[in-house]
Copies of this chain bind each other. A is one copy, B any other.
Amino acid sequence: MDAKVDRPLNELDATEIAGKIAAGETTCEAVVRDCIARIDARDGVVKAWVNFDHNLALEQARVLDRAATRGPLHGVPVGLKDTIDTFDMPTEMGSLIYRGYRPRSDASCVALLRRAGAIILGKTATCEFAGSAPPLTINPHNAAHTPGGSSSGSAAAVADCMVPAALGTQTGGSILRPSSFCGIFGYKPTFNTINTMGTWPAAASIDTIGWLARSIDDIEVLTTVLRGQVPQRPRELDSAPRIGVWRTDLWDTAQPETKAAVEEAANRLGKAGAAVRDIDLPGAFTGLHVVARAAIGFYERAACMAFAWDQKREMLSPQMCRYIENGQKISRNEYIAGLRRLDECRALLANVFDTFDVLLVPCVPGEAPKGLGATGDPSMQAIWTALHTPTMTLPTHRGPNNLPVGIQLVGQRYDDDRLFACARWVWQKIGAPELVGVARSQ
């Protein structure tokens, strides 16, 4: 008999769902039905989904109910940002240009999810081409506020318990920011360790696929699957972590709730036994968010959009057109200087992680801003995307409007497992201001 009999299945974490199905306590179909019920009840307001086919989702569930266990996500519904290709449903990139587009293949990350038994529940709303022109999605905590972007629908759907986990992509701050704004966990792996085949390129030298969920366990099980590994016991820290607190050169732009979150977390973690020390990084790191956004982001965006610009310009948003025009103004020399600067900073950062297990840094300027016309400032997240480091946001705090404010933990390149171990330690000591996601069963 189920101890939590009153809790609908859509509110469970991915690992709980997989466990229940493996134990024969529920079925893939029952899980999908509860997700569908939540979406039917809420998505008229939340608008997290752009392609969602009840029948296709149920069909996948029924096939899995008849099959032997495929992997650690057997029967777990997952949402996909609609810039990620699926062979069996449209992939529209948040753009009229791709209206009704049906790729011939799944993206590699989707194939790996299916290999592990996941149900592709549907496609979530995205900013146009993973850029800045937002979809209609609202923040599930307050419909007047942005959920962040560009993985807007993935964050809102997970936070609203429509699906336990979703994939997003991050070129600036497109996973971490919406995760922080929506009060869930968001993770961007080390660059180039998760294959990007079949995902829309925004700026290929920094584009990274990541995932959003309501628990660290779920972030880790998805990581295992998307690396193509077999599940293993999560790594534990031998001792309390060494945490470097870097307030960044953007500290003065942070609102009080962000400053409070970082300071309170640093303080609490120090008291809990972590070796917490303030650090400052060399001058090469100053203004790195501008390099990331302009010299790299704008330049590569303009290159990626060459066809759309020349042949479909009337179907692009004014935001995208400005973005491309900005990119066209950046010279090749500026671009290459930006690439070299990032190379330099990546080498410098390697030394920092000889001394620290993880960095604690601000994630967002503050709570999700009011209004749906923009998705907030990516600067604080974009630094780490450009540096190729693994990074994670934990939904530890709330702001003056009772909206979520996450902290950000940054790990060493390729050492994502140490980042996870630190994140678990931190989460045990701080925990959530309340349940992760929106108030459930609302």
Residues of chain A having any CB pair with chain B under 8 Å: 87, 97-98, 101, 104-108, 110-112, 114-115, 192-193, 195-198, 201, 204-205, 227-229, 300, 302-311, 328, 332, 336, 339-340, 347, 414
Contacts and interface: CB of A to CB of B under 8 A. Distances in A.
**Which among A110, A302, A347, A414 has the greatest number of chain B C-beta atoms within 10 A?**
A414
Contacts of A204: 192, 195-197, 204
Given A308-B105, A332-B227, A303 B195 contact: yes
B332 A192 contact: no
A204 to B, nearest CB: 6
A114 B311 CA distance: 11
A94 to B, nearest CB: 14
A123 to B, nearest CB: 16
A205 B227 contact: no
A309 B111 CA distance: 9
The 6 closest A-B pairs by CB, nearest first: A195-B303, A111-B306, A111-B307, A106-B307, A197-B304, A108-B306
A303 B114 contact: no
B104 A336 contact: no
A311 B106 CA distance: 10
**Which among A192, A228, A303, A304 has the greatest number of chain B C-beta atoms within 10 A?**
A303
Nearest to A113: B306
A392 B78 CA distance: 46
Given A306-B112, A307-B108, A205 B192 contact: yes
Contacts of A198: 307
Copies of this chain per assembly: 2
Contacts of A205: 192
Contacts of A229: 332
B197 A201 contact: yes
Nearest to A87: B307
Given A106-B307, A307-B108, A340-B414, A195 B98 contact: no
Given A227-B332, A229-B332, A339 B192 contact: yes
A105 B193 contact: no
A339 B229 CA distance: 18
A42 to B, nearest CB: 31
A340 B192 CA distance: 12
Contacts of A97: 104-105
Contacts of A98: 104
28 contacts: A87-B307, A97-B104, A97-B105, A98-B104, A105-B308, A106-B306, A108-B303, A108-B304, A108-B307, A114-B310, A115-B310, A192-B205, A192-B339, A193-B332, A193-B336, A195-B204, A195-B303, A195-B304, A195-B306, A196-B201, A196-B204, A197-B204, A197-B303, A197-B304, A197-B306, A204-B204, A228-B302, A347-B347
**Which among A111, A195, A229, A302 has the greatest number of chain B C-beta atoms within 10 A?**
A195
A209 to B, nearest CB: 11
A84 to B, nearest CB: 12
Contacts of A195: 201, 204, 300, 303-304, 306
Nearest to A98: B104
Nearest to A190: B336
A82 B29 CA distance: 42
A300 B194 CA distance: 9
A28 to B, nearest CB: 19
Nearest to A106: B307
Given A104-B98, A414-B340, A310 B197 contact: no
A110 B347 CA distance: 35
